[in-house]
Structure 1
Amino acid sequence: MKLKFKHVLPTLTTCFLSLALTACGSKGSETPEPQTEPSTPFDYQALIENAVLGELPGVVLYIDSPQLHFYSAAGIADQEENAPMQIDARIPNGSAGKKLTALLAGMLAQEQRLDLDKPITAYLAPDITDHIPNASIMTTRQMLQHTAGLFDYLNDSNGAFYDAVIEDPDSIKMDEFALQFALDKPAHFTPSQGWRYSNTGYILSGLILDKVLGAHHSGAMRSMIIEPLGLTSMSYGGVEQNLGSITSGYFKNEDGMLNTRPFYQNIGVADAPVVGNAKDMADLLKIIVEGALLSESTHQFLMADDHFIPTGINGLQYSAGLFKEMINGKHVIHHGGSELGYATYNFYVVESKTTVAMLVNCNGYKACDDAHDALYQKVVNELTK
């Protein structure tokens, strides 16, 4: 749910070329073509195993491209049980799941059931919109693209949402619960007059999806996206607990190490809707970027060049649920997630058709955050050489 931008500085790559120029001495001999010295494959297994020797409890890394397939885990999934991390570990995807909310909105727009450019007052009742500044001129498209100027119920509320979750871990927390931390809060700007990441826009979009569908949008997300695309590990957080448990996640504060699984198993919100494994995360991003399994209009809504908006942050652009930037000269589409106890990294390198997901079961304190950020940078630098 909470946004963390991940930027990578370019690295220098060195290519070693061996020229084997042999003179045969006989008439008609030819100089052989220069030969490229075989490169040693990068050892991703050693990379993740070294990472869990430090602050990180466990890591899952999935990489798939025409040239490379890697899927492995290292470390511990549960510290109390000393259970090893498994490749099919299911963790909250955090904001990496925003792409599903945006994808569902695009599908409903294609079916003409949702008008992305109508004011949100056309869908939501006054008991909500009267407490949202600029609601009469704010659209679903703007909320999905973070150009609505909304107060962020997570990043702008000084931890109020998390405090409320910890005080009441057992009840299901859905969009209505999260929205209370953004009502009657000032806007950052008039809609379309800037860009600022706000989880509140996705909460409101979730409520609009419910209105359009006449039921909670988790059902449509399953029937229109999760099942047709074969994302067998994915389920809607909180709402679909019966479909599988989530791996333990760890957050450290002044009271010591806290396992956040009891809290997150009861959270199901449209700004961070799903739990799932690394393979499904990577496969979904590949499907969205490449577009073969989507309608043309839905694919264009998510991926058209003119739908990516400059964020004003180091060349970073944003469409609906997706960031785009250049890393080491390569086009990279990405969106990760950051929760208390869980971090996800999800990116696609366009030039090499490489899709990647990395899951970590700690987050929210400096030692862990620095460790998984460093691990991500090594992976993305290697894959964008």
Structure 2
Amino acid sequence: MNTQSFYLALTSCAVTLALSACGASNKAAPQIAEPTPLVIDFQALLDSSVKGEIPGVVLYVDSPSRHFYGAAGIADLDEQTPMQIDARIPNGSAGKKLTALLAAMLVDEQLLDLDAPISHYLPENVTTQIEFADDMTARHLLQHSAGLFDYLNDSDGAFYNAVLNDPFSLKTDSYAMQFVYGQGAHFAPGEGWRYSNSGYLVTGLILDNILGEHHSRAMRRQVFEPFGLSSMSYGGIEKDFAAINSGYFLNVNERINTKPYYLNIGVADAPVVGTAKDMADLLRIIVSGEQLSRVSYNLLMGEDSFIPTGIDDLEYSLGLFKEVINGKEVIHHNGSELGYATYNFYIKESSTSVAILVNCNGYEACDKEHKVLYNQVLRELLK
């Protein structure tokens, strides 16, 4: 594939995925018809799912009454290595909850005021290039109510084009912000809701300034290590931590391994690489609040923290969506990258935490199949 055609594919993927796992609505699923009482064999379901377009998949399910951890298919098509349960992939926007959690911890330490203007934490050479910066707060950024131009979905592929032109240099929040500076806002802060990855980039810059170091170090000290999330690493920054699984995208019948493009991207809107188990365990920790301070828990899970998105009954707090499906409250935030999909949800009634990892994404044949798999798993667990 030449650079131009790959660029077009990346751009198309960004726009499409904004309406599914990574951006805009991120709805867990439509209301599901009354399920049958039969119990699904999850391993058989995974084995069946990799007979088509999906190369490999991992599923982790954990609840007081049911536990499953399995994999199926191929991890690397060139080497024909089997998918393992400990496969690590870039988790895309499912990692936003980590950035939000770290911000909440800094609030608890009285280092961050979510309702102070961002100009309190950022220098003028940053804030003068962001419309409404004097009225914008970290809470607006984390709740997607800032109205910020989205560097991925509003930029006509400019970020991806830059990655293709220079795939080997590290891309952090400061780098990605060049595609936001000088762009007009969609609305004044607090005057609407619109999913914007850029809000988490700005949050990353705020965290760096408060901490006096890149926030990945605090994320390791305060989240990864104390919570036992041993597979997790900050994408791009901690590139030597452990291997990343291959991921696949198809364009004009040419299959592309997108892993090399993610080795040098480390941004706060999609910060983490991890396993299915660790993604599910992280979500359980947040929803249960058992290992969080009262302040951190309330900021992420308190009723007052969730705001309406204007999309059906979907609500958003800091890094988390909430909705009621078949009468049951579901907390979720999925993630999409080119070549990788992460589904991550928690059913409160049954205390069930789930993560699904797939190593293809961003084209119709694959997306259709892993969405079917996701709905089958969700339907089973909502019984």
Same fold (TM over 0.5): yes
**Residues 250-276 of structure 1: CA deviation (Å, up to 9, x unaligned):** 111237111110010111100000101
Instruction: Answer whether contact 1:336 1:344 (CA < 8 A) is retained.
Output: yes
Q: Name 1:157's counterpart in structure 2.
A: 155
In 1, distance between residues paired with 2:332 and 2:163? 28
Structure-2 separation of matches of 1:254 and 1:167:
21
SS at match of 1:73: strand
Q: Residue 219 of structure 1 aligns to which amino acid in structure 2? A: R
CA–CA distance in structure 1, aligned partners of residues 227 and 51 of structure 2:
36
Matches within 5 A, 1:136-285: 136-254=134-252, 256-285=254-283
Instruction: Give the secondary-structure state (helix, strand or coil) at the position aligned to 1:242.
Output: coil
1:296 maps to amino acid: R
Distance in structure 2 (CA, Å) of the matches to 1:169 and 1:50: 35
**Distance in 2 separating the partners of 1:253 and 1:379:** 28
Looking at structure 1, the residues matched to 57 and 156 of structure 2 have their Cα atoms a distance apart, in angstroms, of: 29
Residue aligned with 1:13, SS: coil
Contact 1:8 1:381 (8 Å CA) reproduced:
no
- Equivalence for 1:375: 373
Mapped pair 1:361 → 2:359: yes
Residue type at the aligned position of 1:10 = Q
Give the whole-Å Cα distance in 2 for the aligned partners of 1:155 and 1:89: 28
> In structure 2, which of residues 98, 101, 119 is the aligned counterpart of residue 100 of structure 1?
98
Residue 14 of structure 1, CA deviation: 6.1
Task: Give me the whole-angstrom Cα distance separating, in 2, the residues matched to 1:151 and 1:266.
Answer: 23
Cα distance in structure 2, aligned partners of 1:165 and 1:83? 28
CA drift at 1:41: 2.9
The aligned amino acid for 1:13 is E
CA distance in 2: counterparts of 1:318 and 1:181, whole angstroms? 25
SS in 2 for 1:358: strand
- The CA deviation string for residues 126-153 of structure 1, in whole angstroms up to 9 with x for no partner, is 1111110000110001100000000000
More helix by share: 2
1:161-196 CA distance string (max 9 Å, x none) = 112112211111110111111111110000000000
Give the Cα–Cα distance (whole angstroms) in 2 for the partners of residues 12 and 115 of structure 1.
Answer: 44
Which residue does the alignment assign to 1:31?
A: none
Which residue of 21, 27, 34 corresponds with 1:13? 34
Tell me if the contact between 2:344 and 2:356 (Cα under 8 Å) persists in the aligned partners: yes
Rg larger for: 1
Q: Which residue of 2 aligns with 1:317?
A: 315
**RMSD of aligned residue pairs (Cα, Å):** 1.3
Determine helix, strand or coil for the equivalent of 2:210: helix
Q: Distance in 1 between matches of 2:309 and 2:35?
A: 33
The equivalent residue for 1:36 is: none
Figure out how many residues of one structure are paired with residues of the other and give that number.
Answer: 362
Report the TM-score when normalising by structure 2. 0.92
Query: What is the aligned partner in structure 2 of residue 329 from structure 1?
Result: 327
State the Cα deviation string for residues 71-95 of structure 1 (Å, max 9, x = none). 0001111011011100000000110
> Is residue 179–residue 200 contact of structure 1 (8 Å, CA) maintained in 2?
yes
Corresponding residue of 2:349:
351
For the residue of structure 2 that corresponds to 1:156, the secondary structure is: coil
1:33 paired residue number: none
Give the CA deviation at 1:6.
3.5
1:21-74 Cα shifts (integer Å, max 9, x gaps): xxxxxxxxxxxxxxxxxx653111111111110111110000000010000001
Please say if residues 330 and 351 of structure 1, whose CA atoms lie closer than 8 Å, have aligned partners that are also in contact.
yes
SS of the aligned residue for 2:354 comes to strand
Question: Sequence identity, in percent?
Answer: 62
Give the deviation of 1:328 after TM superposition. 1.4
Give the Å deviation of 1:7: 4.0
Q: CA deviation at 1:10?
A: 2.9
1:13 Cα shift?
A: 3.1
Distance in 1 (CA, whole Å) between partners of 2:29 and 2:89 is: 25
What is the identity, as a one-letter code, of the residue corresponding to 2:324? M
User: Is 1:305 matched up with 2:303?
Assistant: yes
Query: Gaps (5+ residues) in structure 2?
Result: 1-13
- The corresponding residue for 2:10 is none
SS at 2:240's partner residue? helix
* Mean CA deviation greater in 248-257 or 208-217: 248-257
* Equivalent residue number for residue 54 of structure 1: 52
**Offset from partner CA, 1:200-229 (integer Å, 9 cap, x none):** 000000000000000000000000111000
Task: Report the secondary structure of 1:197's partner residue.
Answer: coil
CA distance in 2, matches of 1:181, 1:366: 28
